[in-house]
Structure 1
Amino acid sequence: MSRVQRIAILGAESTGKSWLANALAGVMQARGHSVHTVDEVLRHWCEREGRTPLAHEQIDIAQTQAQAVIRIAQGVVIADTTPLMTAVYSHLLFADESLYPMALAHQALFDQTLVTGLDLPWVADGLQRDGPQVRDPVDTLVRQALERAGIAYRVVYGKGHQRLNNALLALGLAGEDETARMTRYNAQFAINEGRTVWQCNECSDPECEHKLFTGLLAKRLD
């Protein structure tokens, strides 16, 4: 690629952002792209500190998240969350809206923004997640912020491979058929020699996932 292409994945907690980021990276790498994934800074922060951040610590997390994206100057960058999520949680938890200008200015640097829908079940994840009751307000605040700033986004629904295919189509890319999926899956399994650590709370695998929030799906389809 002649320039960097940035893709952001936003969404409330336990909506498969990390799984989707990694799945998209796998498909795009298999198609010959140079892909860089940017992990969620907050997750590593919580693991390191053994707690969730206080109000005054949010800005450093947001800036670190932004810098991790900006320092990559070529290929495809897939960001598993952006400073906008930090701004939303600061707004929701601390009534602090001061991070929005910085977060939205950074969000405008992305070529495409995906928002993960609420059709997956909430799963606890230690310090990282507050509870299912925050998902609706977070989803609302994310969409309101993007719309307020005039930033286009697409909402991705679906389960497992369907969710991945919907994301590919939302990005203007061809979907992945079953043969291509199994080829990629087997190649990745071979690389890891079966040692991959599966994270059930993020994988959205149709074989093992809990029942979907079908009511939410029906109500929130765009």
Structure 2
Amino acid sequence: MNISTGCPTTTFYVTIPAIDTGSNQPPGGAAGKLSGRIKRLKLKQQIKHNQMMSVQKKRTRDIAAKHRVVLTGSECTGKTQIAQTLAAHFACPFSAEAARLYLDRQSMALTAQDIEPIACEQIAQEDAAVDRASELTIHDTDLLSTVIYARHYYQHCPDWIVDTAHSRARGLYLLCDIDLPWLSDGLLRDRGLGGQRAQVHSLFVAMLNQTGQHWMYIRGIGPAREQYAIAAVANYLAKGSITPSHDIDSP
């Protein structure tokens, strides 16, 4: 039996041998067939996870060879605008937020079934930016955001997404603070959750700390917010790394 596994951009074809569901199965053909299908499903899931992680190890090496800046944080905090400003200022590629691109094509509310397609597109967007870069890439969110929102809205995120997010996470994270007014942006977040931004924001802080990322706050209104982000990235490039400075307020 041939099974296609992995993201659409990275597909593997593997042959799974038939599993003997005879002597060890409960009496009755239907029960035996059901048990066999369950075994095959578990094997398929394990192969998918292993193949994905194998590919991501290589991509991790590619990403590590270049400077990486990720705009992250809760909804409606200016991430996209800052990402575009940074890309223009430093003349480097940037990757768009996959959830936004995905929703623009779907034109409907997101569900739990959309998490894996969004994760695959997020990986593809980031990798395409890395492939075009000579030194620096800017990312409008990354897979850590996918993990946070999947857990927040659906109480679950597939293991392969969590593992891949952790293996790819590196560089400088600019955590956009929630000091901007709430505006509906059309994503799943549009459930009257403006008042929950503080809760979601705390999830981002916890994730960055738990995974040991280098990060700092981005605060301020208008051009001041963008200039602070530019200064943070310039400092990151000059030093080649950055000491975690999340306790530093922006001017």
Amino acid at match of 1:163: R
Alignment partner, residue 165 of structure 2: 103
Alignment partner, residue 159 of structure 1: 221
Deviates more, 1:132-141 or 1:67-76: 67-76
Alignment partner, residue 183 of structure 1: none
Q: Aligned match of 2:118 in 56, 61, 66?
A: 61
How far residue 97 of structure 1 moved from its aligned partner, in angstroms, is 4.1
Deviates more, 1:125-134 or 1:3-12: 125-134
Tell me if the contact between 2:110 and 2:188 (Cα under 8 Å) persists in the aligned partners: no
Query: For this pair of structures, how many residues does the alignment match?
Result: 168
Deviates more, 1:19-28 or 1:8-17: 19-28
Extract unaligned runs of 5+ from structure 1.
Answer: 30-34, 175-219
Q: Distance in 2 between matches of 1:147 and 1:129?
A: 24
Q: SS in structure 2 opposite 1:126?
A: coil
Alignment partner, residue 68 of structure 2: 6
Tell me if the contact between 1:156 and 1:163 (Cα under 8 Å) persists in the aligned partners: yes
Q: SS in structure 1 opposite 2:202?
A: helix
Q: Distance in 1 between matches of 2:85 and 2:76?
A: 16
Alignment partner, residue 121 of structure 1: 181
Amino acid at match of 1:87: V
Tell me if the contact between 1:66 and 1:106 (Cα under 8 Å) persists in the aligned partners: no
Alignment of 1:29-178 (within 5 A): 29=91, 35-71=92-128, 72-73=130-131, 74-75=133-134, 76-98=136-158, 99-108=161-170, 111-127=171-187, 129-130=189-190, 131-173=193-235
Alignment of 1:172-211 (within 5 A): 172-173=234-235
- The higher radius of gyration belongs to 2
Q: Distance in 2 between matches of 1:126 and 1:69?
A: 22
4+ residue stretches of structure 1 with deviation over 3 A?
none
Tell me if the contact between 2:110 and 2:187 (Cα under 8 Å) persists in the aligned partners: no
Q: Distance in 1 between matches of 2:226 and 2:109?
A: 30
Alignment partner, residue 26 of structure 1: 88
TM-score normalised over the length of structure 1: 0.69
TM-score normalised over the length of structure 2: 0.61
Tell me if the contact between 1:62 and 1:103 (Cα under 8 Å) persists in the aligned partners: no
Give per-residue Cα distances to partners, 1:3-52, cap 9 Å, x unaligned. 632211101110000000011112212xxxxx111111111111111123
Tell me if the contact between 1:115 and 1:154 (Cα under 8 Å) persists in the aligned partners: yes
Q: Distance in 1 between matches of 2:187 and 2:230?
A: 31
How far residue 128 of structure 1 moved from its aligned partner, in angstroms, is 5.2
Extract unaligned runs of 5+ from structure 2.
Answer: 1-64, 237-247
Alignment partner, residue 203 of structure 1: none
RMSD: 2.2
Tell me if the contact between 1:43 and 1:128 (Cα under 8 Å) persists in the aligned partners: no
Q: Distance in 2 between matches of 1:141 and 1:88?
A: 7
Q: Distance in 2 between matches of 1:52 and 1:105?
A: 29
